[in-house]
Structure 1
Amino acid sequence: MNQNPPIAGAPRPRLAEGFAALRENRLDTAAALRDQWLATHRDDAEVRFYAAEVGAFTGELEDALAHIEAAIALAPGQWPLVLKKARLLLALRRRDDFRAAADEAARLAGNDPQALWEIGRAHTGNDDPRSARPLFERALSAGFDHPGLRLNLAATQFFAGEFDAAETTLARVLQQAPRVGEAVHLRSTLRRQTAAANHLADLEARVAEPATDPSYRASVLYALGKEREDLGDAPGAFAALAEGAALWRRTLRYDPAAELASIDALREAFDAPALARLGAGHDEPGPIFIVGLPRTGTTLLERMLDRVPGVRSAGELMDFKQALGAAVAAVQRERPGLSPIEASLAIDAAALGRDYLRGAREAAGGSPVFIDKMPVNFLYCGLIHAALPKARILHLRREPMDACHAVFKTLFAQAYFFSYDQGELAAYYDRYRRLMAHWQAVAPGAILDVRYEDLVSDTEAQARRVLDFCGLPWDDAVLRPEDNARPSTTASAAQVRQPVHAASVGRWRSVAEGLAPLRARLFEAGWIDADGNGR
């Protein structure tokens, strides 16, 4: 990297010491070194890059962006610096600027395959597989035949609905690196397996291998469970899934009590008077939030609404949580003694709404009406309504046993940690339902409940009901979500390419014995009756 000379007589900073402090999470030390080195080597591009890294670690993103821009000015033409800028812009939810910076990084990278791969992965971080895919393909064309690169390419093919191409790519991944659990699992997820075409023999051989990495083995077990279920072996499928879930749970650092307490704290803190004290909110229409548990039909409804002219899905955005976090942090900087919940009670609702819309609209290509389909936004429904009173909130509800069964049999990897243990799943479900009942009570009329079972059995009536609530015109295209050509970057990417069907309704009953612990907990909590039907 090119750099300007340091101040005369100043020793060259030992940047490795600073980066080691960052790796070891010694942030006070890292920040002190940053300040020391900036005082003597402010015109050194590597010092500015280090300062940007410190800012990224400590959450001082605007400062980090200023430092990386200074580094670029000091050492122009360096794609790693421009890519770092792109990633900071994305963290700031400045997506249009992110795309411009990522394009500039790709231009500077030329045919450097490692660079193209990294820039493509930045686009996947922006939930944009269409922009990532050509970069992955260019990297492969440049001779960089790496299994990780091919796995990333297969994911973009999967999201685009190109399942045959994805299967071919995954076959090459597993030739190069046979024990890539993500590739094994994705291969089984691509399509419904049949007696004539499946991977059962391979999967059973993998399960029979002696001690293996727990994450890899869990991925194989989930794949085996999926294929057994496709072939009608419900008990065998559940046995594999239960073993895989228990194994995956042991790989996680997860405190269920802390998560449940945080949900309880939201319910206790945000009553109607507390929400009113946040202010009038930002009075701009446009966002449609789809919330609920995962695997409850949220993607189906999103794909239906995305067919309405003038409506565009922005995908599963973390934006509201991030905007709320930034607002809370700003209050805490002014009043350091406040807890996060206390600080959240003192935010400006209108400012929160404006900040959210700024980034979210860019994710939706500037569409006036857009869909934010992040299921866990159910946590913030009251705050969403306070910040954006003209937003529409659609809550997908599914029969409790079916909802929890669908969650339990899905490998989410680094999300939804509550989903791998039946007791933890039942406890989370209970808090979710209690919180949603609370939001309905404190924000009457702001949230429309949509039952999954009604959506798949009486699709047109439910679609009309949803469109009326959202103030959208009727369009017959909503009844054909399988014709939606846009990528779907969720676990449902294969299912949403099929016509609407009700085949999953009541599926939990085929493995009722295995779900006995879950059923007992949900019955005790009052969410189901003795027959397992929802209340």
Structure 2
Amino acid sequence: MALLAARPDLAEAQANEILAAIPGHPAGLLIRASARRRLGRAAEALADLEPLAAAQATWPPAHLELGLARGETGDSKGAVEALSRAVALDPALVEGWTALAVQHRLLGHAQAAGRAEARALSAATRDPVLLEAGAALNEGKLAVAEHLLRDRLRARPDDPPALRMLAETATRLGRYEDAEALLRRCLELTPGFIPARHNLAVALYRQTRAAEALAETEVLLEADPRHPGYRNLQAAALGQLGEYDRAIAVFENLLADYPVQPKGWMSYGHALKTVGRQDAAVAAYRRALALSPGLGEAWWSLANLKTFRFAPQDLDAMRQALAGGDLSDEDRFHLDFALGKALEDAGHDEESFSAYSRGNALRRASLDYDADETHRHVLRSRALFTPEFWAARQGWGCPSPDPVFILGLPRAGSTLVEQILASHPEVEGTMELPDMPALAKRLGGRTRRDQDSAYPDALADLDADACRTLGEEYLARTAPQRKTGRPFFIDKMPNNFAHVGLIRLILPNAKIIDARRHPLGCCFSGFKQHFARGQAFTYDLTDLGRYYADYVDLMAHFDQVLPGAVHRVIYERMVAEPEAEVRALLDSCGLEFDPACLRFYENDRAVRTASSEQVRRPIFTEGLDQWRRFEPWLGPLKSALGSVLNAYPEAPAPQERPYDHSGD
């Protein structure tokens, strides 16, 4: 057994000698099977382990090794069954809980994986304080876990397990910078603490620091080259860096080794979709559904291709899945969104709207979005960013003209604008970059849940050097996304409309383009869309209307105090007169006209948004008034839009603004 880790070949040879002398010896069979699994021969290992586990029903090591071997052969469901048996027999089996978490993630069971990870953390110690903290983590009592762990670290600041557990708490709370700091300290103390390094790689990835995450993943893969979780993270980080061909190759090798993982096939489909291989993406999503018919995100991924059409049997399969009682909320709302799209395409508008409404209501219930907070942000921004504010800061910031910000609301035509500009030889398209919101979040500091952020008011305290440094930091953060050496690059994060003041302060020569679409068309399109993250206002018609009205109000303010700083593209005008609008767009960016910008659909660059398939076709008009079919049910949206609806494409007159929903 001591030879297993370093020389599994010798361990196998010695186990064979034992078994030659004593056929069927349980420990000999276990050692031989473990050695064969470590040598990459998991199928041979199973020949010993299946009868061994059946005969030794209460021996945890047999069931642990069976679960590990099943996982190696790609049988994640069988692995979960065996590993669950192992940890039920021995709840202190850290390796069993850790492996169980990996297999649950491969199957897409995020909550079960989180519970298993928490049990692994608590099983790794016999310390009563850490056991209590681990139990709190397992039950989702994050505040309790955080309090216990901070108390422990005040007494023992260099306790690696406590550091890692507090980092896990911070990760679940979305405080990835805190998690990173804790994990780096943990690894300073114990560089070989592999689970902590994996946690660090995840924290870096979730901060969109993919190059750093990839470096940590490579260290992990040196220790365990076949680990499916590390390989999935490697592929995800490569995709975040825009290295799609490499990401696809990693997925293909991973799925060859572990073919029975629906989430893996789905992630592979996402990568294929991004590079325009729609038929292959559909096949990958279908493979995921063959393995897990209730995997809602795979159904939604098909719907999200936009140009894909479901067959009648697909509607039956989705309805059957929704009728089942064992669906998670996440699977259920993804299925509702997908069913809504299928019914809309089939012309069943009322039933389609009902499905969309169910999905939105279920998703909204899990989100902590406050429309009043958005409105107060707009009011504070208008109060701060006055003509006097800008006059006092002339010449501040980083002078680089490289970034082109395309902002507004999602589903307003921003991907079309990006594709047009990225077809110009001087402009590189990247993706929706999270770096400006991350800077804003940092400047706002941490607040209690019942308090507004100090942002944007904190910008008044910055001096010229700080503004220049922030602009340079933004350029450094986004540099890994630039692959072509073109002088300009696009940041298409729509939510950056809330940060126009910050953009102008730290990057005064950046171009800003506001992509705008008819409020009912834009908002209803958002209501039909399930976003991976970051658009919490889209799951309620009233929230949507309020958000759109606040956006129009803030942009109108910048039009007034910084005339000409923002170029506006009205989607309906772009569709009606593409050449005139493209010329105006290029002129606003200081670019010469290039005919390739009118043939944007020939550009084969990777596109990561929901419109990825649509922008690979010429401009089309069929989607302009699609919302009219659903107008009977859009009353709450119209009411929330108020005067903004009738004024479109202009903003309401100043005396009608702000549309004050909160009464403050």
Alignment of structure 1 residues 512-531 onto 2, 5 Å:
512-522=631-641, 524-528=642-646
Name the residue aligned to 1:439: 558
In 1, Cα distance between the equivalents of 2:458 and 2:477? 23
1:534 Cα deviation from its structure 2 partner: 7.0
Seen in structure 2, the aligned counterparts of structure 1 residues 261 and 112 have a Cα distance that, compared at 3 Å, is: same
Contact 1:394 1:450 in 2 (8 A): yes
In 2, Cα distance between the equivalents of 1:362 and 1:224? 38
In 1, Cα distance between the equivalents of 2:533 and 2:360? 13
1:248 Cα deviation from its structure 2 partner: 3.1
Name the residue aligned to 1:246: 361
* Corresponding residue to 1:155 among 265, 270, 285: 270
Are residue 184 (structure 1) and residue 299 (structure 2) matched? Answer: yes
Name the residue aligned to 2:334: 219
Contact 1:83 1:119 in 2 (8 A): no
Contact 2:294 2:327 in 1 (8 A): no
Name the residue aligned to 1:425: 544
Name the residue aligned to 2:580: 461
Cα deviation per residue 1:338-373 (whole Å; 9 max; x = unaligned)? Answer: 944442321332222111111012222365311000
1:379 Cα deviation from its structure 2 partner: 0.3
Cα deviation per residue 1:396-437 (whole Å; 9 max; x = unaligned)? Answer: 111122112211221225432222222221111111110111
Name the residue aligned to 1:308: 424
Are residue 353 (structure 1) and residue 471 (structure 2) matched? Answer: yes
Are residue 396 (structure 1) and residue 511 (structure 2) matched? Answer: no
Alignment of structure 1 residues 473-492 onto 2, 5 Å:
473-492=592-611
Task: Report the residue type matching 1:525 in the other structure.
Answer: S
* Corresponding residue to 1:121 among 212, 218, 236: 236
Seen in structure 2, the aligned counterparts of structure 1 residues 134 and 338 have a Cα distance that, compared at 3 Å, is: closer
1:290 Cα deviation from its structure 2 partner: 0.2
The DSSP-based 3-state class of the residue aligned with 1:394 is strand
Are residue 322 (structure 1) and residue 441 (structure 2) matched? Answer: no
Name the residue aligned to 2:409: 293
Seen in structure 2, the aligned counterparts of structure 1 residues 433 and 127 have a Cα distance that, compared at 3 Å, is: farther
Name the residue aligned to 1:7: none
In 1, Cα distance between the equivalents of 2:443 and 2:496? 16
In 2, Cα distance between the equivalents of 1:209 and 1:94? 39
Taking structure 1 as the reference length, the TM-score comes to: 0.84
In 2, Cα distance between the equivalents of 1:324 and 1:408? 26
Alignment of structure 1 residues 498-509 onto 2, 5 Å:
498-509=617-628
Seen in structure 2, the aligned counterparts of structure 1 residues 340 and 197 have a Cα distance that, compared at 3 Å, is: same
The total of aligned residue pairs comes to 511
Percentage of pairs with the same residue:
30
Higher mean C-alpha deviation, range 143-152 or range 401-410: 143-152
Name the residue aligned to 1:4: none
Structure 2 segments unaligned to the other structure (5+ residues): 6-125, 652-664
In 1, Cα distance between the equivalents of 2:176 and 2:316? 49
Cα deviation per residue 1:17-38 (whole Å; 9 max; x = unaligned)? Answer: 6666776235454344335434
In 2, Cα distance between the equivalents of 1:244 and 1:62? 34
Task: Report the residue type matching 2:224 in the other structure.
Answer: A
The DSSP-based 3-state class of the residue aligned with 2:548 is helix
In 2, Cα distance between the equivalents of 1:494 and 1:350? 38
Name which one, 1 or 2, has greater alpha-carbon Rg: 2
Structure 1 segments unaligned to the other structure (5+ residues): 2-10
Name the residue aligned to 2:99: none
Alignment of structure 1 residues 2-151 onto 2, 5 Å:
16=131, 24-25=142-143, 26-27=145-146, 29-39=148-158, 57=175, 59-60=177-178, 63-64=181-182, 66-67=184-185, 70=188, 74-75=191-192, 80=195, 82-90=197-205, 95-124=210-239, 129-143=244-258, 145-151=260-266
Contact 1:185 1:219 in 2 (8 A): yes
Task: Report the residue type matching 1:459 in the other structure.
Answer: P
The DSSP-based 3-state class of the residue aligned with 1:492 is coil
1:292 Cα deviation from its structure 2 partner: 0.5
The DSSP-based 3-state class of the residue aligned with 2:156 is helix
In 1, Cα distance between the equivalents of 2:360 and 2:634? 13
Cα deviation per residue 1:168-199 (whole Å; 9 max; x = unaligned)? Answer: 22222222222111111112333535597772
Name the residue aligned to 1:8: none
Alignment of structure 1 residues 228-247 onto 2, 5 Å:
228-247=343-362
Seen in structure 2, the aligned counterparts of structure 1 residues 82 and 527 have a Cα distance that, compared at 3 Å, is: same
1:268 Cα deviation from its structure 2 partner: 2.7
Task: Report the residue type matching 2:374 in the other structure.
Answer: E
In 1, Cα distance between the equivalents of 2:355 and 2:453? 47
Contact 2:146 2:166 in 1 (8 A): no
Seen in structure 2, the aligned counterparts of structure 1 residues 475 and 34 have a Cα distance that, compared at 3 Å, is: farther
1:378 Cα deviation from its structure 2 partner: 0.3
Name the residue aligned to 2:107: none
1:391 Cα deviation from its structure 2 partner: 0.1
Are residue 380 (structure 1) and residue 499 (structure 2) matched? Answer: yes
Task: Report the residue type matching 1:447 in the other structure.
Answer: V
Name the residue aligned to 2:616: 497
Seen in structure 2, the aligned counterparts of structure 1 residues 243 and 87 have a Cα distance that, compared at 3 Å, is: closer
In 2, Cα distance between the equivalents of 1:320 and 1:471? 23
Taking structure 2 as the reference length, the TM-score comes to: 0.69
The DSSP-based 3-state class of the residue aligned with 1:448 is strand
Seen in structure 2, the aligned counterparts of structure 1 residues 292 and 140 have a Cα distance that, compared at 3 Å, is: same
Seen in structure 2, the aligned counterparts of structure 1 residues 93 and 504 have a Cα distance that, compared at 3 Å, is: closer
Contact 1:49 1:67 in 2 (8 A): no
The DSSP-based 3-state class of the residue aligned with 2:633 is coil
Contact 1:467 1:474 in 2 (8 A): yes
In 2, Cα distance between the equivalents of 1:308 and 1:503? 26
Task: Report the residue type matching 1:139 in the other structure.
Answer: L
Seen in structure 2, the aligned counterparts of structure 1 residues 327 and 253 have a Cα distance that, compared at 3 Å, is: closer
Seen in structure 2, the aligned counterparts of structure 1 residues 514 and 473 have a Cα distance that, compared at 3 Å, is: same
